[in-house]
Amino acid sequence: MKTNDRLEPTVFVIFGGAGDLTWRKLVPALFDLSQDRSMPADFSVIVVDRVDLSDEMLRRRLHNGVNQFSRFGKGKVAAWNQFARHIHYQRGDFKKLQTYAALGEQCAKLEKEWGAKVHRIFYMATPPSLFGEIPQYLGRAGLARDRDWARIVVEKPIGYDLESARALNAALAANFDESQIFRIDHYLGKETVQNILAFRFANPLFEPIWNRRYVECVTITALEAVGVEHRGGYYDHAGALRDMVQNHLMQLLCLVAMEPMVSFEADEIRNKKADVLHAVRPIHRDSVHQCVVRGQYGPGWIDGKKVPGYREEDRVSPDSQTETFVALRLFLDNWRWQGVPFYLRTGKRLTRQASEIAIQFRAVPHQSFPAEATLDWQSSRLVMAIQPDEGIVLHFQAKHPGPKMHLRSVEMQFNYQDAFAAPSPDAYETLLWDVMKNDATLFMRADQVEAAWRLLMPVLDVWAAAPPSDFPNYAAGSWGPEEAQGLLAQGHSWPVPSELAGLCQKKAKNE
Ligand code: BG6
């Protein structure tokens, strides 16, 4: 694979460019890259959509997005004007070959103008129903052919189930080589997620105890306080398992459980991650109810405000059976992790937003302190906070000051805000830059996507056959359904709010 370290001339084509993703994420990220001097000197952003727009109208709309969502955007009119000159609108039907022929001509024109061959990046920011078709048109128009110069970016959802994911992967593979396909999982672009590998494999400290001998259990959490917002139409057909677990949570599981990579090559890392998915013990249909809990929020209170239940949300069916919460207990059948439970949970409209991975270490093999010293004793725990707090917290036992031997839990913290002066880039900045560099390390490969679907299919099948009778089963603003406790082995717990809030409390104190 040719990597583009010098950032050669690039044409960025965004299909569905008049939509929310382009406005909210893609163009703010490209603008921020330009402010960071991380865009090629010669680049063009061609936005393709069906609606009637002029270059000027599109630029005004995108400027508004940059003002709201970019790190550098607000008030930078001159910088925006300079950047906006690179943005062009092309009206076109995604299902007509002439749209693609026009793109080909435009690329050829730019090549002539810049006097150099251009990298062509095709970003599908369209509804998923077009994901299978656009690659075919690109193929027919001859725009996919050049392996080192043409790339396609696919947003999630990559399929609705195993079968449709396979069909989509096949449609992509019929026109592009796997090395040209960039499947986005924006979690992988988050600094704190990338730091999992740095923390594990750039330090000799924890890796020797990162296994079944020392780890009691692992909890992977991605909780949201927001509801489905304006995405009820999509979400009601997806649900939390498809929306968050199949992709983001499975990717976190891979990063936390994988074996050390031999090199930082994209495929080496992706092979190690795929090994984790292959090691997950399959969930049999008859054990789905013991290993997985689903939930849906009813009305409740968040931050002192009354919020509606899921069934009252816009474009959600009033008797919807879609889950907005899911918790799972998984095991990995390999040498490193045999017998260690991995608890995963995610949901919407919970008490507060908090994504983190907690490694709970085993108890000491022999408790030599007197019983009265250990009344508040807790196992050591390492928490990798992903968002909104960004950092790492190590909880361990220390002697409480005083004449008596009394142990209590204390924390050591690494906080991004304190350690690094600059704010972290948005995940899309990192990912778009990697696409331009032709570096697929942070992108999902076809086999990973299919392996994740394969694992979850029994759950989806059993749920479809036995709709829930107790929805809504948690109130908005709570920590999810009570049943999620039932997944935990004795002595294990989901991290409680005060533990998750460690970094927040510190920030609040400092302010
Ligand atoms: C998206 C899901 O992939 O991730 C959304 O479709 C979810 O439902 C979002 O809200 C969460 O991402 P983040 O970066 O806000 O945690």
Neighbours of 422 (CB within 10 A): 8
pLDDT score for 389: 87
Q: Is 151 helix (H, G, I), strand (E, B) or coil?
A: strand
pLDDT score for 481: 97
Distance in Å, CA 158 to ligand 1 centroid: 15
Nearest alpha-carbon partner for 440 in 176, 48, 64: 176
Distance in Å, CA 27 to ligand 1 centroid: 18
- Atom 15 (ligand 1) nearest CA: 224
What is the pTM (predicted TM-score) of this model?
A: 0.94
- Atom 8 (ligand 1) nearest CA: 243
Q: How many residues does the chain have?
A: 511
Distance in Å, CA 184 to ligand 1 centroid: 12
> Which positions are annotated as active-site residues?
248
Answer whether 191 contacts ligand 1 (Cβ < 6 A).
no
Could you read off the pLDDT tens digit of each residue along the chain, which spans 511 residues? 454 557 899 999 999 988 889 999 999 999 999 998 889 999 999 999 999 999 999 999 999 999 999 988 777 899 999 999 999 999 999 999 999 999 999 999 999 999 999 999 999 999 999 999 999 999 999 999 888 999 999 998 899 999 999 999 999 999 999 999 999 999 999 999 999 999 999 999 999 999 999 999 999 999 999 999 889 999 999 999 999 999 999 999 999 999 999 999 999 999 999 999 999 999 999 999 999 999 999 999 998 999 999 999 999 999 999 999 999 999 999 999 999 999 999 999 999 999 999 999 999 999 899 988 888 888 899 999 998 989 999 999 999 999 999 999 999 999 888 888 888 899 999 999 999 999 999 999 999 999 999 999 999 999 999 999 999 999 999 999 999 999 999 889 998 645 544 444 544 444 4
- Atom 4 (ligand 1) nearest CA: 244
Q: Is 335 helix (H, G, I), strand (E, B) or coil?
A: coil
- Pairing label, strands 87-91, 292-295: unpaired
Mutate to test the pocket of ligand 1, among 25, 235, 243 (most ligand atoms within 8 A of CB): 243
Distance in Å, CA 80 to ligand 1 centroid: 27
CB 187 within 8 A of CB 251: yes
Nearby residues of 99 by Cβ (< 8 Å), 6 or more positions away: 48, 90, 92, 93, 137
Nearest alpha-carbon partner for 256 in 332, 168, 357: 357
Mutate to test the pocket of ligand 1, among 191, 248, 325 (most ligand atoms within 8 A of CB): 248
Q: Among the atoms of ligand 1, which is closest to the Cα of residue 156?
A: 3
Q: What is the rounded CA–CA span in Å between residue 361 and residue 211?
A: 10
pLDDT score for 421: 81
Q: What is the rounded CA–CA span in Å between residue 211 and residue 233?
A: 42
Element (H, E) at 306: strand 305-307
pLDDT score for 317: 96
Answer whether 224 contacts ligand 1 (Cβ < 6 A).
yes
Answer whether 243 contacts ligand 1 (Cβ < 6 A).
yes
pLDDT score for 510: 46
The number of helix segments (H) and strand segments (E) in the chain equals 18, 18
Distance in Å, CA 243 to ligand 1 centroid: 8
Q: Among the atoms of ligand 1, which is closest to the Cα of residue 348?
A: 10
